[in-house]
């Protein structure tokens, strides 16, 4: 009997650490799952602004944007109606672009930006809004673009002078399932500008944009940017005084059909390139210079399906 009792005590002593370990494992809470914010914006561009979004790896995106002339010119009179509020004026700027993402964090693109201008860019995503293992409150993307003006200019034949550059730090947060906001500090560099006391090769601005989801396939969008320098009393190469308008304001709607994304908007610019929109905007908000425009976005998956 003593031997049986001793064996029973020994067995309990041997099993106790194992049972305690199992209890500890059972009581340990599961690690929270990583959850990324998805569809902060529905496209790589909001209206005119770039967004923190990039296309899916292995996908090619084709985008066509069309900016018409101003809806109403205060000195235009009945000609405004004859020109169908800018739609039939014969003045429009078209932007055609292709971009591709070789990885989840990198996007490369090229574009015909209108008026004999061409652009190429790279967009790199550094942070992505998420909860779970890591709590990151915002998505952060860096965007760098080069613009070249290939139009013949007898006063500017040096090739290097035809280039300009734009860099943006894009910071976005999906505030809720319906509302997303983005801040866009922007730096533009011109390789050459006319000599003058107010002229500079560097232009700085700050943009704010947002999206509000009305329905699953319908969003409202808006943008506002303020240029900080290089817009007032500039001297041209001919010695004339030139002024630009530092405010850029746009509002629109997005319609997602599944295969295409359609964007329709009204904005205080008729230009197609961000270089002209952010640094050399000729449309004045106080004079009511607003123009209509649209963008058609199409994504194509180039990856081969695994068998």
CATH code of the domain containing 50: 2.40.160.40
Structural domain of 251:
30-301
**Is residue 222 very low, low, confident or very high in pLDDT (cuts 50, 70, 90)?**
very high
Q: Which residue has the higher pLDDT, 133 or 259?
A: 133
Start-to-end C-alpha separation, the chain: 68
Query: 206 - beta bridge partners?
Result: 185, 226
Query: 111 - beta bridge partners?
Result: 97, 119
Mean pLDDT of 114-136: 92
What whole-number distance in Å separates Cα of residue 11 and Cα of residue 243?
92
CB 213 within 8 A of CB 183: no
Instruction: Using DSSP, state whether 161 is helix, strand or coil.
Output: helix
Q: C-alpha angle 154/201/249, rounded to 5°?
A: 100
Low-confidence winner among 1-5, 128-132, 283-287 (lowest mean pLDDT): 1-5
For residue 306, tell me if it sits in a domain.
no
What whole-number distance in Å separates Cα of residue 262 and Cα of residue 192?
37
Mind listing the pLDDT tens digit for each residue in 35-82? 889 989 999 999 999 999 999 898 899 999 999 988 877 766 677 777
For residue 60, tell me if it sits in a domain.
yes
Low-confidence winner among 61-70, 88-97, 164-173, 290-299 (lowest mean pLDDT): 88-97
Low-confidence winner among 81-85, 115-119, 211-215 (lowest mean pLDDT): 81-85
CB 267 within 8 A of CB 291: yes
Mean pLDDT of 223-239: 89
What whole-number distance in Å separates Cα of residue 97 and Cα of residue 123?
14
| Closest C-alpha to 112, from 66, 158, 156 | 66
For residue 231, tell me if it sits in a domain.
yes
Dihedral of alpha carbons 198, 199, 200, 204, sign: positive
When the pLDDT of each residue in the chain is averaged and rounded to a whole number, the result is 86
Mean pLDDT of 135-140: 95
For residue 11, tell me if it sits in a domain.
no
How many domains, in total, are found in the chain? Answer: 1
Two structure tokens written together for 107: 């996007």
pLDDT at site 231:
92
Q: Which residue has the higher pLDDT, 114 or 167?
A: 167
Which helix (DSSP H) or strand (DSSP E) does residue 293 occupy? strand 291-301
CB 120 within 8 A of CB 145: yes
Taking the mean position of all CA atoms in its chain, how far away is CA 11?
67
For residue 13, tell me if it sits in a domain.
no
Low-confidence winner among 115-124, 149-158, 229-238 (lowest mean pLDDT): 149-158
For residue 53, tell me if it sits in a domain.
yes
Instruction: Using DSSP, state whether 159 is helix, strand or coil.
Output: helix
What whole-number distance in Å separates Cα of residue 287 and Cα of residue 263?
25
**Is residue 194 very low, low, confident or very high in pLDDT (cuts 50, 70, 90)?**
confident
**Is residue 132 very low, low, confident or very high in pLDDT (cuts 50, 70, 90)?**
confident
For residue 233, tell me if it sits in a domain.
yes
**Is residue 300 very low, low, confident or very high in pLDDT (cuts 50, 70, 90)?**
confident
pLDDT at site 279:
94
Query: pTM value?
Result: 0.84
In the numeric block, the tokens 């695994």 are attached to 306
What whole-number distance in Å separates Cα of residue 162 and Cα of residue 218?
40
For residue 20, tell me if it sits in a domain.
no
pLDDT at site 31:
67
pLDDT at site 29:
66
């Amino acid at each position: 009997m003593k031997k049986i009792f001793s064996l029973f005590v020994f067995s309990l002593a041997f099993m106790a650490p194992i049972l305690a370990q199992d209890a500890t494992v059972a009581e340990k809470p599961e690690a929270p799952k990583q959850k990324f914010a998805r569809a902060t914006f529905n496209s790589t561009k909001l209206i005119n602004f770039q967004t923190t979004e990039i296309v899916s790896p292995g996908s090619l995106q084709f985008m066509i944007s069309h900016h018409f002339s101003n809806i109403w010119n205060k000195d235009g009179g009945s000609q405004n109606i004859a020109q169908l509020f800018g739609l039939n004026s014969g003045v429009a700027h078209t932007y055609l672009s292709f971009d591709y993402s070789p990885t989840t964090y990198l996007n490369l693109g090229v574009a015909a930006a209108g008026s004999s201008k061409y652009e190429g860019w790279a967009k790199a995503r550094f942070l992505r809004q998420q909860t779970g293992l890591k709590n990151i409150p915002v998505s952060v993307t860096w965007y760098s673009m080069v613009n070249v003006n290939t139009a013949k200019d007898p006063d500017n034949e040096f090739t290097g002078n035809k280039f300009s550059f734009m860099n943006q730090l894009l910071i976005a947060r999906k505030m809720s399932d319906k509302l997303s906001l983005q801040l866009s500090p922007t730096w533009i560099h011109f390789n050459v500008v006319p000599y003058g006391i107010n002229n500079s090769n560097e232009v700085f601005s700050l943009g704010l944009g947002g999206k509000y989801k009305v329905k699953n396939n319908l969003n409202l969008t808006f943008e506002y940017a303020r240029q900080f320098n290089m817009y007032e009393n500039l001297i041209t190469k001919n010695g004339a005084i030139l002024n630009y308008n530092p405010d850029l304001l746009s509002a629109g709607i997005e319609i997602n059909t599944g295969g295409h994304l359609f964007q329709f908007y009204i904005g205080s610019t008729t230009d197609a390139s961000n270089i002209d929109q952010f640094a050399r905007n000729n449309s004045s908000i106080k004079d009511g210079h607003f123009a209509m425009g649209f963008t058609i976005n199409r994504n194509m998956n180039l990856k081969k399906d695994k068998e």
